[in-house]
Amino acid sequence: MPATTLRGDVLPERVPAAGLLILRDGEPGEPEVTLSPLRYHYQHRAEIEAVLQGATRDAAFDTLCASIGAALAADRTLGGLCDWVEAEAPRPVDLPVEGAASLKAAVIPVILHYSTADPLA
């Protein structure tokens, strides 16, 4: 994707022209547990914060959201790390910036379904 991608970072003073994605680790929640063999089944809720600025931010936002959806659809297992990954609809907002074009931002929830033998692995 052309947007700059960060993980767990704060919003920088300047948003790159192609946009900015900040990945938030989120919460794994309480797992369902099966025995014999012992497995923990998670529906981990992570988030992607998408931020754009500029005159064409609405069209760029739509394109960026579509590219995130396409990337997830292309590999629903994240290379075998998850059983299934699905995104929820973004919740966009316009954020005013004093003396500059407003920001278009959204939180895109992503649900990661996976199982593990050890919750710390």
* pTM of this prediction exceeds 0.95: no
Whole-number pLDDT of residue 1: 66
Whole-number pLDDT of residue 17: 84
Read off the tokens for 23: 């990945």
Mean pLDDT, 10 residues at a time, the chain of 121 residues: 89 87 94 95 96 88 92 95 96 86 92 95 80
Whole-number pLDDT of residue 50: 94
